[in-house]
Structure 1
């Protein structure tokens, strides 16, 4: 398995995956902006399948915020999101990050289970946060 930083050449694959994974998908322009940001967009790129997972995140002064963690629907439940999280946790430890923050749809049971399994705690709720009226669960992991 290859975790690497995404490049502009990956935008079509990332955008296609985002549209399959997210009810309110990011645009290609938003993904491009993330790739051009100081911190990398990490992806898992398999020789036989191409890009199967991505992690979009932002470093704040002593925190990290996860913006997107997607696994292509065909490749879910194979540990790819877990490996991207572990990669981020190792990086955060090296950088002395105090906590990692995220928000996730309240009805995304698989993601909530993954995050809780990795030590994230629920720390808030944003009602009607998403365009379709879904609530967002705020979560944090102390490092």
Structure 2
């Protein structure tokens, strides 16, 4: 992902989330040197993106999103596995993330990808009518033999 990708990334983010990241959140992630990836269709259209932050020996997945017309086709799963494989090759022992309990598609993806709930961050996410929603903290420990195609 580069700064030139930000308008397309923000447009996707605004279409798929009721409480999207701001352009500043994405810009700050690039500036901080996080792993920021943009994924394009063969046509050149940006259709997905991810942002991950390295902490000493693990990766914190901050955002993994697929444009609405491309959801439900396994792209999110493929990106998640690609990210995990790259993290293993770079020495990570596991991956951490937060997910809204109300985000059933994401929860199903993470559950089926070996993530386990290790905690709750109370009132972490904004919710409708000024409310807050908890975040489930999930972790996937990487084991021997993991690591596929290179990021």
- Assess same fold via TM > 0.5: yes
Matched ranges for 1:54-65 at <5 A: 54-65=49-60
- For the pair 1:139 / 2:134, whether they are aligned, the reply is no
Tell me the equivalent position of 2:10. 15
C-alpha distance in 1 between matches for 2:88 and 2:94: 10
Compute the RMSD of aligned alpha carbons. 1.3
C-alpha distance in 2 between matches for 1:89 and 1:130: 25
Aligned-partner SS, 1:96: coil
C-alpha distance in 1 between matches for 2:57 and 2:5: 29
Matched ranges for 1:116-135 at <5 A: 116-132=111-127, 133-135=132-134
C-alpha distance in 2 between matches for 1:80 and 1:43: 13
CA shift at 1:127, angstroms?
Answer: 2.8
- For the pair 1:44 / 2:43, whether they are aligned, the reply is no
Q: For 2:68, which of 65, 69, 73 is the aligned residue?
A: 73
Aligned length: 138
- For the pair 1:86 / 2:78, whether they are aligned, the reply is no
C-alpha distance in 1 between matches for 2:36 and 2:78: 14
Q: Which has the larger radius of gyration?
A: 2
Ranges in structure 1 where 5+ consecutive residues have no aligned partner: 1-5
TM-score of the aligned structures, taking structure 2 as reference length: 0.85
Tell me the equivalent position of 1:3. none
Tell me the equivalent position of 1:112. 107
C-alpha distance in 2 between matches for 1:20 and 1:102: 22
